[in-house]
Structure 1
Amino acid sequence: MSKLNLLIVFLLIVVFSCEKGYITDCRECATDGIGDVKLKIHIGSVSYDPAYRRITIYEGAMEDSLILSRFSTEAGYVEYDALLYKDYTVTVEFISNGRHILSVDAACPQMRYDENTCNEPCYYIYGNIIDVRLRYNY
C-alpha cells in the first residue's frame, strides 16, 4: 500500500476508535437535558418465541447476583428506569419444547453532548439497548 493509503487508514482508525457511540441519532437527542434514562429491552415477538418469559434485571454482572427486578411478561419490548454509567445485565428465561433456554445481554447507558451533528446542540444517550431475542426457534 502507498503512504497515502496508510495515512487514510490510520486517520480512520483514530477518528472512530476514540469514542463509543460516535454516530448520533438526532431523533433520540434531547436539547433541554437528559431526562429519564431507560434501558430498552428487546425480548422478541410472541408469534416466534415462547409466550412465557421471565425477565431478571441485574445490577452489574449476573455473577454478582444483585437482582433489581424479576417479572414475567408476554410483551416483546420493555423499558426499565436506569442510571447513567452503571452496568446492567438482563436475562430472559424461555421454556420451549421442554427445553429451558436462558438468553443474556448487558449494557451500560452513557451520555454525550453533541454540538455539531444535529440542528441544535443536544444530549444523546447511547449504550442503553439490550437485545435478548432468540435468534432461531427450537
Structure 2
Amino acid sequence: MFSKIFKLLTVSLIVLAPYSCEEMESFIVNCDECYELKPDKIDVRLKFTINNENQVVYFELYSGNPENGVLFFSGNTTISEKVFLLDANSYYSIKAYYTSKGRQIIVIDATTVKLKYDKSSCSSPCYTISGDVLDARLRY
C-alpha cells in the first residue's frame, strides 16, 4: 500500500515539476475574479515599504525594462500600495529607491500583465488577469 502511494506521489511530482507556480495558477480560475467584458485597462498594484527610515519612496515605472524601456511614470509615494491602470499583455517594470542604514538600496521588479480568455472554467466565458502586481518592497 505504502509503495503504491509513494509511486503515485513520485510520478505526480515528476509531471508537475516543470510548471512554475504562476503556470499552475493558470489552471485554477477564481470565477469571482473573472470578467465577462474584456477590460481595456487593468489595475496593477505597486507595493512599497513605508517605514520610519523610508517615509517617502521615489519610484520609476517603466513600460519595458528600466535599462531600455520607456519611462511611464516617476514620482514619490508615502503609502505602501498604489494602483495604476495599465495595458494588458504588456511588460512593465518598477524601480524603487530606499535608504537603509545610510546606504541607498534600489529594488527592481517586473511583470507581464496578462489577460486570458477562458471558455469553460466558470458558468460563462470570461477573462482572467495575471501579473497585476509589481512588488518593490524591501526584503531584509
TM-score range, shorter chain: 0.7 to 0.9
What is the TM-score when the length of structure 2 is the normalising length?
0.76
Any gaps of 5 or more consecutive residues in structure 1? none
Q: List per-residue Cα deviations over 1:16-54 (Å, max 9, x = no partner).
A: 57x83412233322122224212211113x346611200
- Matched residue of 2:94: which SS? strand
Q: CA RMSD in A?
A: 2.6
- Give the 3-state SS of the residue equivalent to 1:93 in structure 2: strand
What are structure 2's unaligned runs of at least 5 residues?
Answer: none
1:31 counterpart letter in structure 2: E
Change (3 A) 1:98 1:10: closer
Identity fraction in percent: 23
In the superposition, relative to structure 1, how do residues 77 and 49 fare at CA in structure 2: closer, same or farther (>3 Å)? farther
Question: 1:80 and 1:71 mapped to 2: Cα distance?
Answer: 13
TM-aligned CA distance change 1:84 to 1:65, over 3 Å: closer
Q: Which residue of 1 aligns with 2:98?
A: 94
Tell me, yes or no, if the aligned pair for 2:97 and 2:106 is still in contact at 8 Å. yes
Q: How does 1:4-83 map to 2 (within 5 A)?
A: 5=8, 8-9=12-13, 11-12=15-16, 20=23, 21-22=25-26, 23-44=28-49, 46-47=50-51, 50-83=54-87
CA drift at 1:77: 0.4
Equivalent residues, number: 132
Residue 109 of structure 1 corresponds to which residue in structure 2? 113
SS of the equivalent of 1:88 reads strand
* Deviation of the 1:103 alpha carbon: 0.7
Q: Which letter maps to 2:131?
A: G
